[in-house]
Amino acid sequence: EPTNERVKANWRLRYACKRASPLVCKNQPLLVELGVLYRARELEGLEVNALGYERAIAVIKSYPNLIAHENFETDIVHLPFLGEKMLFKIREYLTTGRIQESETTRASQRFQSLSAFSSVYGVGPATARKLYDDGLRTIDDMKRYYDVQEDTEVPQLGANSVTNDLIRKDQIPNLSTKVGLALYEDLETPIPRSEVEQIHDLVMQEARYLMPECISTVVGGYRRGKPYCNDVDIVIGCPNIQSGGNQVKALGEKLIKRLYDRGVLCLSGFHAQDSVRGAHLNLLEKAMTIFALPKNAVHQRVHRRLDLIFAAPETYWTAIIGWTGSKMFERDLRLWAKVEMGMKFDSSGLTRRYDSKLFMPSSERHVFEILGLDWIDPTMRNA
């Protein structure tokens, strides 16, 4: 059943997890302009300022009508998170069809360079700024700086497992930057839905060989309906897995090994989940990998970032919600759970705060129910 009428009428509310947010909204061109301003602040490390823009963008995404002079005073000035400065920019767009600051920003060398640097796998805004301050301007500058040439050896697909058994944790960032640069063109190429599906099919074919009863959901932007994705995110669950001990991780490691043996992985590392604490210990494991479909596939040999999330039964549904996104939807879901419900929500589980009791939801809908939220279809979670 699709997102209900009540949620569709919720565009005035502050929590993104209570609003319907389509992938593309009526005011998309305005959001593209505001998106530049958001990105510029994020790249400059102005986090509070960036969040303000991110929230404003999310609020406008839920507004069901085209913003016009007729509804500006009646609706827009009353939307949450739109302060004077934001309203000024929207008004500027409304009257001139453009936002001056967005155009200046887009044209600036600094913005272009920082955007390019931070589009490399493993590079965040702080590193990007440092590179710019060191005089670098382009991806080619960056390739020289990191000593990545045309013939730089990228780990070969399937050649040898590069897992955290072999690489020290502190070497991973540098290694991933080098790999990110060596594979820059591949990793920049958007992934069409049909290729996401092929990758999912292949991964699950191998997973079911190890555990016939395991289940999976493709999450991330794919699940929110994006026609092209930047990476592939898959949550894999196993109804019969024991939550104690290391069974979740063991399944993950075995699957990674099989994928190497099939020649479709060239890099992987396991990451401890963000909330590895108390009740959630060993319930969720995440492997970040670089994957390419085999030679005979329709879409072939383009390196793709593939994140595999392995979940014990207790956390399967919260992991799915936590990894479907969007980031703003997730942020407000955590906030709602904490402030309004006295609960703690994250990908690895849903707990009551006063006694840390872990809930065991039986479906994604059940998680929404426990949180006292109306159901929102994944395609309407693009806050």
Instruction: Name the residues annotated as catalytic.
Output: 89
125 binds, among ligand DGT, Mg ion, none (CB under 5 to 8 A by kind): none
376 contacts 17 by C-beta, under 8 angstroms: yes
AA letter at 175: L
26 binds, among ligand DGT, Mg ion, none (CB under 5 to 8 A by kind): none
Taking the least distance from each CB to ligand DGT, the nearer of 99 and 116 is 116
61 contacts 21 by C-beta, under 8 angstroms: yes
The residue whose two tokens read 């074919």 is 205
Taking the least distance from each CB to ligand DGT, the nearer of 33 and 346 is 346
231 touching Mg ion, by CB under 5 A:
yes
52 binds, among ligand DGT, Mg ion, none (CB under 5 to 8 A by kind): none
Taking the least distance from each CB to Mg ion, the nearer of 131 and 232 is 232
Cα(215)–Cα(211) distance, rounded to whole angstroms? 9
Taking the least distance from each CB to ligand DGT, the nearer of 68 and 276 is 276
Among 54, 233, 332, 346, binds Mg ion (CB under 5 A): 233
**Minimum gap (Å) between residue 378 Cβ and Mg ion:** 13
314 binds, among Mg ion, ligand DGT, none (CB under 5 to 8 A by kind): none
Q: Footprint of ligand DGT on this chain (CB under 6 A)?
A: 220-221, 226, 229-231, 233, 274, 322-323, 325-327, 330, 346-347
**Minimum gap (Å) between residue 45 Cβ and ligand DGT:** 19
**Minimum gap (Å) between residue 165 Cβ and ligand DGT:** 21
**Minimum gap (Å) between residue 181 Cβ and ligand DGT:** 19
Taking the least distance from each CB to ligand DGT, the nearer of 115 and 230 is 230
The residue whose two tokens read 């703003």 is 328
Touching Mg ion, residues 209-228 (CB under 5 A) = 220-221
**Minimum gap (Å) between residue 274 Cβ and ligand DGT:** 5
268 contacts 256 by C-beta, under 8 angstroms: yes
Q: Which residues bind Mg ion (CB under 5 A)?
A: 220-221, 231, 233
